[in-house]
Amino acid sequence: DPRIKAVGFTGSRSGGTALMQTAQARPEPIPVYAEMSSINPVFLLPEALRARGRELGEAFIGSLTMGAGQFCTNPGLVIAVKGEALDGFVEAAAETIRSASAQTMLTPGIHDAYTQGVNTLADSQSAREVARGPAGDGPNQCQAGLFVADAQDFLKDDALQAEVFGSTSLVV
């Protein structure tokens, strides 16, 4: 409709990219104001990990599982320096996620995409599953997950860099 002069969008990178291409192909191109993807990398600094790594691990899972991970602020990627302090963070996060109840995702399509993303991580030779939350018994239940991968593997494997929209995160 030529009366539309701009578009606002929140959602997947592929959906937003398609919308931007459509908006630019119009006889009168219009702007698309988009918030796309929700990988939201979290950088854990060595001093913070040493001082309160376990506490951060527990709090991290609260953020990861809030709303079945369907918030734009969902921390889908954690970057940190390998070592004992990071091990403590991962251990605390794993303990917390194992008791994180499954939550209902907004639509069957979102749940299916989430399941595919988690399966890609689980099937990867480059990532290792650390923990999963309990499975739900209703439709579209998001079972939280935590995976780890080395930095070199992460950089070489495009599948590890893809968004998993929901309560799963990768620690690199």
Would you give the DSSP letter of residue 147? Answer: E
pLDDT at 140: 97
Whether 17 and 88 map to the same domain: the answer is no
pLDDT at 14: 83
Residue 2 lies in a domain: no
Residue 118 lies in a domain: yes
Whether 79 and 25 map to the same domain: the answer is no
- Specify the number of domains making up the chain: 2
Whether 53 and 138 map to the same domain: the answer is yes
Whether 25 and 80 map to the same domain: the answer is no
Neighbours of 11 (CB within 10 A): 16
Give the three-state DSSP class for 124.
Answer: coil
pLDDT at 72: 78
Catalytic residue numbers read 35, 72
Whether 21 and 79 map to the same domain: the answer is no
- Give the pTM: 0.86
pLDDT, block means (10 residues), the chain with 172 residues: 93 87 96 86 96 96 95 92 97 97 96 96 97 96 97 96 94 98
Contact 28, 38 (CB under 8 A): no
Give the three-state DSSP class for 23.
Answer: helix
pLDDT at 128: 97
Domain of 126 in residue numbering reads as 41-171
